[in-house]
Chain A
Amino acid sequence: MKRMRVLMLGWEFPPAINGGLGVACHGLAKALASQVDLQVLVPQIDRDVPRDGFELRGANEVTLQDLAVTEKHYRYESFSEVEFIPVSLDPYTSEEAPLKKIVPGTKEWVEFSQTTSEDITLLGNGDLYGDDLGMKVIQFSKIAAKLALQSDFDLIHAHDWMTWLAGVEVKRVTGKPLVVHLHASQYDRAGSDARGWIYDLEKIGMTEADRVIPVSHYTGRVVVSHYGIESAKVRPIHNGAEPVSRYRSRRRFPEKVVLFLGRLTAQKGPEFFLEIAGKVIEREPAVRFVMAGKGDKLRQLIETGAFKGLGGRFHFTGFLAKEKVNELLSMTDVYCMPSVSEPFGLSALEAAQFGIPAVLSKQSGVAEVLQGALKADYWDTNLMAEHIVHLIRDGELRDKVVKQAAIDIKAATWDAAAGKVMSVYHELLS
């Protein structure tokens, strides 16, 4: 059989990563590369990033000459009358910028179809998100469509809403089937009443797509119930995790360490962690709680912690580089993830690789993977606290949870995920 050719559209890619998205795209691309001819297009790329067996291109490296062949043959219709998109997505704040009036453009739409050197520069500019995110998304989709017209592939695979407009454009001009991969939705970031430009793009992307791959069954349910997507085309596939070299640090103090790792935003439920900490310390004083990460809730959390009298036992580290995260994991006794809505939760798998038992929110994808982990609804801080106390006091329970996690991690590889993605591809191409 002829080797399948896949055009993958991504946004974050190592080393430019903010959260799990870049890590997941890279992990999946590497694993898929052994089975398909893969070309990956992202907005910007460092020249010295290793290619790992697939073709990787940054839209910021594209020249106007590269686009010249197709420039005249492509008319861009989506948003051709829009001059300004009032959207920004800062992963460290929970709120979407308020929607301002969309101003009809004065330019002719034909002119809008053209790509200028400024458009390319825009994509190469520092932050992948920020105030001009809306324009970046549009320029990326135009460049993607023009490049796609010049190349041969069988299928499009687009990661998260920032690339879905591009996916839809490429599908429109090439007629190839579109797979959209959902790592995090606006529902996760902003809650169930999230509506706006991002929500609309997500809905358009999933509606136009031939298959939707959410990273968990939990997120699959959100796709169907919150976005109204036909369940017949939804195929949940769990992320894998790159193996890490684990180690344990010498104990620095007699207290056990319970860790929260993530952005300090509403989505991750840091205020629930604070509440859990208060309840655990009441019953088991010899515990320290560590909150690693930054975000718009930091100051409020510090003040609430002080008000509850948790200081001295509850430690804030701020944002940590990978090395420091590993050092922290090497000291951690219990990992706690009280996310309000967590499509997957890669960090819990990384903690499990360090042999750390986890207490997870039921509203998370990783809870489906780590079958032995102790679980509670994110708001049920009593049960969360009880789980933590049990893991600290009951060595047998702890061993059981850690053993089961080791089995679960073995199965949670990117090769396994790639295998499932392949069967989705086959459904569309057979």
Chain B
Amino acid sequence: MMAASPLLAPCICFQVHQPYRLTSYDFFQIGQRSYYEDDELNRRVFSKVAEKCYLPAAQFFRKLIERSEGRFRIALSFTGLVLEQMADYRPDVLDSFCDLIATGGVEVLGETYYHSLASLYSFAEFQRQINLHGAKVREVFGVEPRVFRNTEFIYSNRIATEVESLGFRGILAEGVPWVHPHSEANYLVKAPGTKAVKILLRNSFLSDDLAFRFTDKAWKGYPLNAADYCERLAGMHGQLLNIFMDFETIGEHQWRDPGTFRFWEEFVSMYLERGGEFVSPSMAVARFEVESDYDCSQPTSWAESERDPSAWIGNAMQKEAALKIHGIEQAVMETGDPRLIHSWSKLQCSDHFHYMNSRVGSDGLAHRYLSPFETPYDAYIYFMNALADLQIRVDRINIARSFLV
């Protein structure tokens, strides 16, 4: 009989994000109104999520971390947009995350400030947004991100190379089966040609058990209890267990269930009692050696069954919208107008393209649930109108500037 292998360390990472949803910006507003967001809606949604998720969950994890005496930890990746919303709409939420991070048991990850798809279109813009994000995280939390997590886990060899050149030690990615067998997700890997940046691949089974299947009554594992989940983790082989999901799943997206917090409390204490330990991405990168190359030449993501960026840029509307917004980068930058650049960048937020997703089925339902618009066509029409207005503002400034020269 084989001796029981030691418990692997779970590496738990949460994404924290809220978009700035747009208004029904119709043709008659073009050239008349240079503000595209629905403040009232955004404030309302943020407050709802704050009450149901951010405040109770931040407080809950602080308690878990403090009680564990340094053995339980998580990583959080905040978009710049959600940090702005916290400051504007609910400073109490920001305070509560600051308290959580002050425990020392939370690593803050790097990402794009605007939760954008810039990595697919422009390295210069990608880099600019990562730097902006780093500055924001330093300003708000006083910490330096060392490991990178791209928007929606969009990842490719090229992105790994670029992220390495910006000094990151690690990058989070979706482990897709056509690049790498699922059983290998528990080992650190690296992209061909990179040296310094290690890849942490999401264990989609363990992650989605908690993120999606937890409340699914049709699932054979339902209802999931902490003991069973610990058992499943204990049966795993490799270096570590990467469990990545949206922070909003706790209390908001899927888990309307009061049992959520109880589950986490039991799971963490059971795992610790059995002698397990939790690691942060930076700890994992420092502790483990890379096992093999992960050769991913086409961009992947964590979304839908395709696990590629097609949830955002799959149909003609999405492709055009994304191409057009990124196509004016140079002209926007030439204006040198910080407000205009900020408004352009906010339009890059991937959620806008997600609302234009016209797929049906269960993935389609998720789009309908999250979208502020009735149809993907409305989302496209209003986005393109807003973009048209932005373009007019850009042209106006650049023409005026050309006379000055």
Q: Which residues of A contact B (CB under 8 A)?
A: 252-254, 288, 290, 298-299, 302-304, 306-307, 309, 311-313, 315-317, 324, 327-328
Contacts and interface: CB of A to CB of B under 8 A. Distances in A.
A142 B20 CA distance: 59
14 contacts: A254-B392, A290-B27, A298-B377, A302-B380, A307-B320, A309-B320, A311-B384, A311-B387, A315-B388, A317-B26, A317-B27, A317-B28, A324-B28, A328-B28
Given A252-B30, A252-B31, A311-B380, A306 B388 contact: no
B380 A306 contact: yes
Contacts of A315: 27, 30, 381, 384-385, 388
A306 B319 contact: yes
B77 interface: no
Contact of A306 (B27, B31, B320): B320
B37 to A, nearest CB: 19
A328 B26 CA distance: 12
Contact of A302 (B324, B377, B388): B377
B376 to A, nearest CB: 9
Contacts of B377: 298-299, 302
Contacts of B28: 317, 324, 327-328
Interface in B311-342: 315-317, 319-321, 323-324
Contacts of A311: 317, 320-321, 324, 380, 384, 387
B27 A302 contact: no
Nearest to A316: B381
Cβ-closest 10 pairs across A and B = A252-B31, A253-B31, A306-B316, A311-B384, A307-B316, A306-B320, A306-B317, A315-B27, A253-B392, A312-B388
Nearest to A292: B27
B402 interface: no
B32 interface: yes
A254 B377 CA distance: 27
B351 to A, nearest CB: 18
A312 B384 contact: yes
B391 interface: yes
Interface in B332-391: 377, 380-381, 384-385, 387-388, 391
B32 A312 contact: no
Interface string B192-204: 0000000000000
B392 A303 contact: no
Q: Is the interface of B mostly helix, strand, loop or mixed?
A: helix
A247 to B, nearest CB: 15
Nearest to A291: B27
Contacts of B324: 309, 311-312
Contacts of A302: 317, 377, 380-381
Nearest to B318: A306
A316 B323 CA distance: 20
A307 B392 CA distance: 22
Nearest to B28: A327
Given A252-B31, A307-B316, 12 more contacts: A252-B32, A254-B392, A298-B377, A302-B377, A302-B381, A306-B315, A311-B324, A312-B324, A315-B381, A315-B385, A317-B28, A328-B27
A253 B30 contact: yes
A309 B392 CA distance: 18
A327 B32 CA distance: 14
A317 B25 CA distance: 10
Interface in B285-335: 315-317, 319-321, 323-324
B106 to A, nearest CB: 42
A51 to B, nearest CB: 36
Contacts of A316: 27, 381
A328 B27 CA distance: 9
A312 B381 CA distance: 9
Nearest to A303: B316
Given A252-B32, A298-B377, A303 B385 contact: no
Contacts of B321: 306, 311
B387 A312 contact: yes
Contacts of B320: 306-307, 309, 311
B299 to A, nearest CB: 21
A320 to B, nearest CB: 9
Interface string B29-65: 0111000000000000000000000000000000000
Contacts of A317: 26-28
Contacts of B30: 252-253, 315
A325 to B, nearest CB: 11
A254 B389 CA distance: 11
Nearest to A257: B27
A290 B324 CA distance: 19
Given A252-B30, A311-B324, A303 B315 contact: yes
Contacts of B319: 306
Contacts of B388: 288, 312-313, 315
Interface string B137-148: 000000000000
Nearest to A314: B384
B405 to A, nearest CB: 20
Contacts of A298: 377
Nearest to A290: B27
A425 B122 CA distance: 73
Contacts of B27: 290, 315-317, 328
A306 to B, nearest CB: 4
Interface string B145-189: 000000000000000000000000000000000000000000000
Contacts of A324: 28
Interface centre among B27, B321, B387 (most CB of A within 10 A): B27
Contacts of A254: 392, 395
A316 B387 CA distance: 14
Contacts of A328: 27-28
A299 B323 CA distance: 20
B321 to A, nearest CB: 7
A199 B323 CA distance: 48
Contacts of B392: 253-254
Interface centre among A254, A312, A315, A316 (most CB of B within 10 A): A312
Contacts of A313: 388
Contacts of B385: 315
A328 B392 CA distance: 19
Nearest to A324: B28
Contacts of A290: 27
A299 B379 CA distance: 12
Nearest to A251: B31
